[in-house]
Amino acid sequence: MTMPLVSIGMTKTRSLRVIAFLCALLVASCGGGGSKSNNNQNPPPGNPPPTVGLDARPSNATCVAPARGAGGASVDITDAFPNLPNISQPVKVLVEPVANPRWFVLRKSGQLVVFDPDNATSVSTFLDLSGPALRTASEGGLLGMAFHPDYPGVPEIFLYYTINGTTTEMRSVISRFILDDIQSPGAGTDEQVILLVDQFASNHNGGDIAFGADRLLYIGLGDGGGGGDPQETGQDTTRLLGAMLRIDVIGTGADYNIPAGNPFDNEPDKCGPGLNVANCPEIYAWGLRNPWRWSFDPPSNVLWLGDVGQGAREEIDQIVAGGNYGWDCREGTLPFESAGCSGPFEDPVSDYGRTDGRSITGGFVYRGTAIPGLVGRYVFADFASGRIWALQSDGQGGFTNEELLNSSTQPSSFGVDQDGELYFTDYNNGRIMQLVATGGGVDPVPDLLSVSGCVDPATTTQPYAGLVPYGLNAPFWSDGAAKDRYIGLPNGQTISINAADDWDFPPGTVIVKNFRLNGSLIETRHLMRHPDGVWAGYTYEWNDTETEAVRVRGGKVEMKQGQDWVFPDEAECLQCHTTVAGVALGPETAQLNMDFTYPSTGRTHNQLETLDQIVMFSSPLPGDVSTLPTMPDPTNTGAGLSDRARAYLHTNCAACHQPGGPTPTDLDLRYTTSLADMNACNVAPDSGDVGIAMPLIIAPGDAARSVLVARTNRRDVDGMPPLGSTIVDADGVALLTDWINGLANCN
């Protein structure tokens, strides 16, 4: 057997490690009874010598990622209320936020009608806005509705409708209706007009309105109509068209306030008919063509939106503060025109072409229980083709469209009942249809942690013996939880390390993480790379007796140990575990270049040397660990302040904020990036000032003016991280504050 020579330039220690590695291979293939295909695992006891943390790589026979499930949910549609009379031209359906709710349906012709779902044999008119003033031509009419956040305690509803313009084709109206009697308002309704928006054509009105978790009113407006954005409103922030607006209407009467955190909230004047400002402070995001139906997903507060295309693409967006969604520079993922197109633009989550449809109807993330295969997935439709889809994570931070069914309906809006089940209005037939399960694909990821193969068969709270534990220099903030981490590497497979010192795990890998609050197991997460190479995240909730953990589908927030604890849904996992950062975020060279005490042996040794010796890597380490990258623990006050702060940003922020990351900014918060190259120091924010006067992302010597600190110090829609956390990391905020206050410049 021919063996390679040891490099002349290696150190003595390095040479001994390589010789030990070669001897292990020789024994395994020539006298150890193992086949050649097993050369990279389980060196015999005593090789390498017990100076590292583990004697040998454990055999992992059970904690291996299975094939991805067929995923799909087999669904059909049914008439939800077959005895209900037809409701002509339905454009919106809502369920009253009370214990025994009525259902409200908006008709384009101006009537708001209601019915009792338990005795759905008739409808009654709640309000009637029809009349000479209401403009129902083209895409106009009664289009949107929202209940006051404190309804019925505050008996108010908000409506969006269109009227004839005074000097323009059409005028959009946002009004508050104060109800004397929520059961039968009739003439006892006081209307307060809050906002008027003129537009030059009768189409592309948007029309949806809704309150967010922040109790602010969001309003979707189209580009004003016509074809190809003739007045270039999509990229014009001096007008309210082609934008998502956000205003404060709680207790303001016929007026409204501009909330802090809007991108242009420092403008002294509001927008409106006849008013000209540098940028409209009502705008929350822009670059939209015709946002026809959108919704918030309550567990994550993500705003999902369907934007109707021009002639080539229909798109789905996740709306963020200050986001520019590209119209009319782009239509979906395709370029449209180049004039006035500076960007940066937010990419659509997904889009589709005209062979599938030509008018997207935005939907909801499914949070019901009747269709398990849909839980946590965004469901939407096309008004023209009748097709209904659900987004399917591709495991790489993106999505594909899974067609659920091709119906003969015209879905004009979606709605959800109190149980999270999904309905839609069929515009052509005047019906309310429900999505129902007809079966579903097999999901090989088990519902019980005890049968996952990743725990000790005898003691569920203990890890499976085939897992390799590890620790991190700079752990991620997880709302104060203590964490245990393990790598489940398939037998015969190894980890490769790229030029950026990120680790690439082979298919079949399972990264396991346990979370504890006050010593109690709360959650276990599995990040799996399935055999087809696609990554996916799964999570399990422990019961109070710690005898079992049950898989959580679709995410949720539960009170655990006196605090709100976020169980992420499958799609949210991949929003943080970004492809650009290597998906498996913690395991990287600089993070594991540290001593670690291995529970199975009680020995403390450098993790990189240990993993190298037991042949976890596809190639030996490129040098002694003293020459390899490392970073400090942010809580170690013996390390340099700048290094600690940069390590904190690397762990908690850089997964998204680096070149190629999924954000509209060009921030680079990786540990290895110099302060001058972070695109943050002395740089004005382009996603809102969060209420700070003269803000900068990092203002040297002045943390109070630094948006980086302000966003880290909050957990609302402007907070960072934007999901997965409900508690501010006070120590992290203090660390960033001290670092920035100590900066004299950006060098």
Is a pLDDT exceeding 90 seen at residue 88? yes
Are the beta carbons of 298 and 213 closer than 8 angstroms?
Answer: yes
What pLDDT is stored for residue 20 in this prediction? 39
What are 218's strand-pairing partners?
A: 210, 246
| One-letter identity of residue 552 | V
Confidence label for 536 from pLDDT (cuts 50, 70 and 90):
confident
Is a pLDDT exceeding 80 seen at residue 339? yes
CB within 8 Å of 469: residues ≥ 6 apart: 463, 484, 485, 486, 596, 598, 599
Higher pLDDT: 560 or 70? It is 560
Q: Averaged over 722-731, what is the pLDDT? A: 93
Are the beta carbons of 56 and 43 closer than 8 angstroms?
Answer: yes
DSSP for residue 134: B
Helices (H), 393-459: none
Q: How many helices (H) and strands (E) does the chain have?
A: 7, 38
Are the beta carbons of 348 and 316 closer than 8 angstroms?
Answer: yes
Q: Name the token pair of 445.
A: 């990821």
Percent of the chain with pLDDT over 90: 76
Alpha carbon distance 73, 371 (integer Å): 7
What pLDDT is stored for residue 718 in this prediction? 82
Alpha carbon distance 444, 554 (integer Å): 16
DSSP for 6-56, please give it.
Answer: PPTTS-HHHHHHHHHHHHHHHHHHHTSS--GGGTTS-PPTTSS-TTSS-SS
Are the beta carbons of 177 and 158 closer than 8 angstroms?
Answer: yes
The beta strand positions in 250-341, using DSSP E, are: 283-286, 291-297, 302-307, 313-319, 330-331, 334-335
Is a pLDDT exceeding 90 seen at residue 563? yes
| One-letter identity of residue 438 | T
What pLDDT is stored for residue 333 in this prediction? 95
**Which residue from 280, 286, 181, 285 is spatially nearest to 232, judged by alpha carbons?**
286
Percent of the chain with pLDDT over 70: 90
Are the beta carbons of 141 and 133 closer than 8 angstroms?
Answer: no
What pLDDT is stored for residue 187 in this prediction? 58
Hey, what's the torsion of the CAs at 233, 238, 243, 244, to 10 degrees?
A: -170
Is a pLDDT exceeding 90 seen at residue 396? no
What pLDDT is stored for residue 172 in this prediction? 96
Residue entry with tokens 């359906």: 93
DSSP for residue 5: P
What SS3 state is found at 316?
strand
Helix 641-652, helix 730-741: angle, nearest 10: 130
Write down the CATH number for the domain with range 73-440. Answer: 2.120.10.30
Per-residue pLDDT tens digits for 97-139: 999 999 999 999 999 999 999 999 999 999 999 998 999 989 9
Q: Averaged over 580-608, what is the pLDDT? A: 95
Alpha carbon distance 44, 47 (integer Å): 6
Average predicted confidence (pLDDT) for the chain: 89
Residue 35 CB neighbours (<10 A): 10
Query: What Cα–Cα distance (Å) separates residue 253 from each residue in 190, 256, 289?
Result: 11, 8, 30
**Phi, psi torsion values for 608, nearest 5 degrees:** -65, -45
Higher pLDDT: 686 or 265? It is 265
First to last CA, the chain: 56
Confidence label for 21 from pLDDT (cuts 50, 70 and 90):
very low
Contacts 24+ apart (CB under 8 A), 10-18: 11/624, 13/624, 14/620, 14/623, 14/624, 17/48, 17/609, 17/612, 17/613, 17/620, 18/620
What pLDDT is stored for residue 300 in this prediction? 85
Alpha carbon distance 233, 223 (integer Å): 6
Sign, CA torsion 18/22/23/24: positive
* Helix (H) / strand (E) containing 731: helix 730-741
Opening angle at CA 526, ends 524 and 531, nearest 5: 165
Per-residue pLDDT tens digits for 623-645: 999 999 999 999 999 999 999 99
Prediction pTM value: 0.67
Alpha carbon distance 476, 618 (integer Å): 27
Confidence label for 25 from pLDDT (cuts 50, 70 and 90):
very low
Are the beta carbons of 112 and 127 closer than 8 angstroms?
Answer: yes
What pLDDT is stored for residue 723 in this prediction? 82
Lowest mean pLDDT among 54-68, 311-325, 474-488, 575-589: 575-589
List where CATH 2.120.10.30 sits in the chain: 73-440
CB within 8 Å of 40: residues ≥ 6 apart: 492, 493, 494, 615, 618
Per-residue pLDDT tens digits for 194-242: 999 999 999 999 999 999 999 999 999 999 998 899 999 999 999 999 9
Query: What Cα–Cα distance (Å) separates residue 124 from each residue in 93, 120, 127, 431, 688?
Result: 14, 11, 9, 15, 44
Q: Averaged over 396-421, what is the pLDDT? A: 91
Is a pLDDT exceeding 50 seen at residue 171? yes
Is a pLDDT exceeding 60 seen at residue 1? no
Confidence label for 573 from pLDDT (cuts 50, 70 and 90):
confident
CB within 8 Å of 237: residues ≥ 6 apart: 243, 264, 279, 280, 283, 286
What pLDDT is stored for residue 103 in this prediction? 98
Residue entry with tokens 């402007």: 718
